[in-house]
Amino acid sequence: MHDVEIVPLEHLLQEIKECVGEVGERQIALLQEQNELAQRRTQTTSNLLQHSSAAAELAQDQTAMARERTALTRAQTRLSGRSTELGIIRTDLSRERTSLAEQRTEVAVYRTELAQERTRLATARTNMARYRNTLAIDRTRLSQSRTDLARERNVLAETRTSRAMTRTRLSLQRTFLARGRTYLALLRTGLAILVLGLTLVRYFGVTKWTIFDGALVLVGFCLVVYGGRGYWIADRHDRRCQSVLATDPGMEDLT
C-alpha cells in the first residue's frame, strides 16, 4: 500500500466543502437542464398527441373523402408535410438525446472522480483515526502516570504531616527539657544559697547577722523546694512525651 500523506483536518474540510459546493452547483445545473428537457419532452408529447389526433382525423377524412380524389390528394399532401415536421422533431429529439448521453457520460466521469476523492478522504480519515487512537493511548498512559504521581504526592503529604506532628512533639519535649534545666538551675542555686547560709551560721555563730543568715537559709530552702517541684513536673511531662514519641510513626524513619 502507498503511504498516504496526512494533511491537516481544516485543509481536508475546506477541500470537501469546495468539492461539495461544485458538485451541488453541477447537480443544480443538471437538474435545470433535465427540467428543460422534461418540458421539451412534454411539449413534444403534446405535439405527438396532437399529431396522433390529427392522424385520426385524417383517417376519418380519408374514409369520408375516399370518394373524392382531389380532397384525398390534398389530405395526402398535408399529411406528408406533417410527416416531414415529425421527422424534423424526431431528429431534434435524437440530437437532444445524444446531448443528454454526453452529459450523462460527463456526470459519470465526475462521479468516478468524486468516488476516488472520497476513497482518498476515507484513507486519510482512517490514518487520522489511527493517530487519534495513538494519542488516546498516550493520554491514558500519561493519566496513569499522573495518578501515580498524585498517589506519591498524597503519601509525601501524609509523611510531611506526620513529620510536622513529630516536630511539634519534639518541640514540646524540648520546651519541657528547657523548663527542667531551668528548675535544675534554680535547685542548684537554692542549694548553693542554703549551703552558704548554713556555713555562715556555723562559722560566725549567733550574731546580729544571724537573721540574714537565716534569711539566706530560708531563701535557699524555698528555691530548692520550688526547683525540685518544678523539675519533678517537667520530668513527668518529658516522660509522657517520650512515651508518645515511642509510638509516633514519624520517629520510625529517624531511628
Residue 39 is predicted with a pLDDT of 85
How big is the CA angle at 146 (ends 161 and 156), to the nearest 5 degrees? Answer: 15
Taking Cα atoms as reference points, which of 166, 172, 163 lies closest to residue 240?
172
Q: If you average pLDDT over every residue of the chain, what do you get?
A: 82
**Domain boundaries of the chain, sorted by first residue:** 9-153, 159-251
More confident residue, 229 or 173: 229
Q: What is the average pLDDT across 171-180?
A: 84
Give the per-residue pLDDT at 2.
44
What gap in Å lies between CA 2 and CA 157, rounded to an integer? 54
d(CA 114, CA 24): 12
Tens digits of residue pLDDT in 183-221: 889 889 989 988 888 888 777 766 677 778 788 888 989
The alpha-carbon radius of gyration of the chain (Å, integer) is: 60
pLDDT at residue 11 in the model: 72
Q: How far apart are CA 92 and CA 220, in angstroms?
A: 143
* Cβ-proximal residues to 64 (8 Å cutoff; 6+ apart), any chain: none
Q: What is the pLDDT of residues 97-122, one digit of tens each?
A: 998 999 999 999 999 999 999 999 99
**CA-CA distance, 157 to 144, in Å (whole number)?**
20
Place of cell 460527463: 106
Question: Among 121-125, 156-160, 188-192, 250-254, where is mean pLDDT lowest?
Answer: 250-254
Helix (H, G, I), strand (E, B) or coil at 205: coil
Provide the 8-state DSSP code for 145. H
Per cent of the chain over pLDDT 90 is 24
Q: What is the pLDDT of residue 4?
A: 47
Is the distance from CB of 117 to CB of 19 less than 8 angstroms?
yes
All three cell numbers of 129, joined, read: 483515526
Is residue 167 classed exposed, middle or buried when 0-12, 13-18 and 19+ CB atoms within 10 A define those classes?
exposed
Residue 44 · residue 93 · CB < 8 Å: yes
The span from the CA of 198 to the CA of 217, in Å, is 6
Residue pair 217/201 in contact (Cβ under 8 Å)? The answer is yes
> How many CB atoms are closer than 10 A to CB 8?
9
Question: Using CA atoms, how far apart are residues 73 and 231, in angstroms rounded to an integer?
Answer: 156
How far apart (Å, rounded) are the C-alpha atoms in residues 195 and 254?
45
- Read off the C-alpha cell for 190: 537554692
Residue 34: what pLDDT? Answer: 82
State yes or no: pLDDT of 254 exceeds 70.
no
